[in-house]
Amino acid sequence: MKERLVSPKRSTVAELEGQLHLYASETYSYATMTRAAVLGLEDGSTWWGEAFGDGQSASGEVVFNTAMTGYQEIASDASYNGQIVVLTYPLIGNYGTFDRAGESRRPWVEGLIVRELVGTCREGTIDLDAYLRSYGVPGLAGIDTRALVRRLRAKGTLRGVILQVPPHRSQTEDIAREAVATARSIQPLAAKPLVVESTGLERQVGSGPKVALLDTGVKENQIRCLVQKGATVKTFPATAMAREILSWSPDGIVISNGPGDPAAIPLIAAATRTLVEAAASRGMNRALPILGICLGHQLVGRAIGATTSRLPFGHHGANHPVQDLRTGRVAITSQNHEFQVDEASIPSGAGFAVSSRNLNDGSVEGLAHER
């Protein structure tokens, strides 16, 4: 006996269409809109939707992240300091927020943009809306994030501003013009002290071999993983001098992820150069391994004499394929960085070679010493 497909009642279909409008041009809302907001980009485009989170405005570079989960980890990643993040997955917020998922002491995104915001379905968790509001971070929901991401992929990272207005002023042309004008006046990332803002206090956890971690915006999971591997981890603020780190006599050094342009932090780059030189001078008998992650990797690149440059729209997501050039194996990686080490600029006598490559765009994802 064949099964019959029963269509929903017309009232149910109409109700769903009235609520969801997932790819329509008009703004969706589950209830009467209480706060409207507009995203204005420096290219002159404007995107009207519904505000959530805090009630203030937000400004910064607008980037997108392609991960399907991990919105709290993304929001609290200090590498996003100075940036407004667009999430490409359309349904955000359904499992709430909770302490364990925080990668830092607070969210660092300037603002969060989603297609559809929903409340948590898990007991003991906090709605994403309330979480962002408690830290003063605004959000924008209900816009066509597909179209916005396509624009960012085509034009590259753009400066943008989120302005909030009462619902009756939604779609107002003068507000839209103000958002675009403000976006065009935003300082570039290189002009902001993003790393100094993001760094934390000195602390020590774990028991075992000593790993000194230069905190340029570290994610907590890096510290957890090192401790789980049996290390004693001591974090040093980004402003620490190389001699302070070396005086602790570490068995290894980690330079963490972080926000912004590595060329804009010359003092931290100089400290990294001193650490690399100190490691090289010790030789293999008293090896001092150094690991750079994200911004840390770029700082190591600059320390050996290479240059860095901006990627068109960065690497932000949880599905970036990276190949280990020594073994040929490919790993699917989670990434969040705007800049790359320029392969052609690596000095031939530096003793370093490209060890990993991004299979999406061919950019450098890892450096290794030739010894």
Q: Please report, for the domain that includes residue 200, its CATH number.
A: 3.40.50.880
Residues 44 and 90 in one domain: yes
| Boundary-marking domain end, from 164, 186, 208 | 186
Residues 73 and 206 in one domain: no
Q: Identify the H or E element spanning 308.
A: strand 308-324
Nearest CA to 246 among 205, 222, 214? 214
Q: Is residue 9 part of a domain?
A: no
Residues 140 and 225 in one domain: no
Phi, psi of 13 (to 5 degrees): -60, -45
Question: Do the Cβ atoms of 215 and 235 come closer than 8 Å?
Answer: yes
| Boundary-marking domain end, from 170, 186, 202 | 186
pLDDT of residue 27: 46
d(CA 234, CA 123): 35
Q: Cα dist. 118→89, 125, 132 in Å?
A: 13, 13, 14
d(CA 27, CA 19): 10
Residues 261 and 288 in one domain: yes
Q: Is residue 119 part of a domain?
A: yes
Residues 212 and 163 in one domain: no
Phi, psi of 155 (to 5 degrees): -105, -10
pLDDT of residue 283: 72
Phi, psi of 320 (to 5 degrees): -90, 120
Low-confidence ranges of the chain (pLDDT < 50): 1-31
Q: Is residue 148 part of a domain?
A: yes
* Domain CATH number, residue 42: 3.50.30.20
Q: Is residue 2 part of a domain?
A: no
Please provide the distance, in angstroms rounded to a whole number, between the alpha carbons at the two ends of the chain: 71
pLDDT of residue 282: 83
**DSSP SS3 for 269:** helix
Q: Is residue 290 part of a domain?
A: yes
Amino acid at 232: T
d(CA 142, CA 29): 7
Q: Is residue 163 part of a domain?
A: yes
- Label residue 13 left, alpha or beta by phi (over 0 means left) and psi (-120 to 50 means alpha): alpha
Residues 213 and 335 in one domain: yes
- Number of structural domains (the chain) is 2
d(CA 195, CA 267): 11
pLDDT of residue 32: 56
Q: Is residue 162 part of a domain?
A: yes
Residues 103 and 208 in one domain: no
| Boundary-marking domain end, from 157, 186, 215 | 186
Residues 235 and 177 in one domain: no
pLDDT of residue 157: 94
pLDDT tens across 319-357, in order?
Answer: 999 999 999 999 999 999 999 999 999 999 888 999 999
| Residue 149: both structure tokens together | 């991401």
Residues 182 and 204 in one domain: no
Residues 107 and 230 in one domain: no
Residues 148 and 285 in one domain: no
pLDDT of residue 286: 80
Residues of the domain holding 332: 194-369
Q: Is residue 357 part of a domain?
A: yes
Q: Which residues are CB-contacts of 128 (< 8 A; sequence separation ≥ 6)?
A: 71, 72, 92, 93, 96, 97, 117, 120, 139
Residues 79 and 218 in one domain: no
